[in-house]
Amino acid sequence: MKIIKLNKAQFDYLDYVLSEQQDLSSKLKIKIENQFVYITIDDDTADQIRDCVGEELQRVGFDENYELTPEGIILENLIDLFY
């Protein structure tokens, strides 16, 4: 099991990305403390979330010049956090 610490913007975007992935969302143990969200998950779920976030990064994470968009920055940070 691992604990992932997210800020509100990261959690909100993760929640948006996983909104259609109820099987993944249901595996998250969420604890909100102060201005942070702590998610407890197993390694397999972390891998699945990272894959899902990576697909979203490919879809919306880059502009026409292949520069990161603001969404892309959040998504890259999420991928790093779930490693």
- Chain segment 10-60, per-residue pLDDT in tens: 999 999 999 988 888 889 999 999 999 999 999 999 999 999 999 999 999
Task: Name the pTM for this structure.
Answer: 0.90
Which range is least confidently modeled, 3-12, 14-23, 74-83? Answer: 14-23
The edge-to-edge listing of strands for the beta sheet with 36-41 is 2-7, 36-41, 29-33
Determine which helix (DSSP H) or strand (DSSP E) holds 48, and give its type and residue range. helix 43-60
pLDDT of residue 21: 87
Please give the Cα distance from 46 to 49 (Å, whole number). 5
In this prediction, residue 80 has a pLDDT band, given cuts at 50, 70 and 90, of very high
Bridge pairing between strands 29-33 and 2-7:
unpaired
- Total domains present in the chain: 1
Host domain of residue 41: 2-81
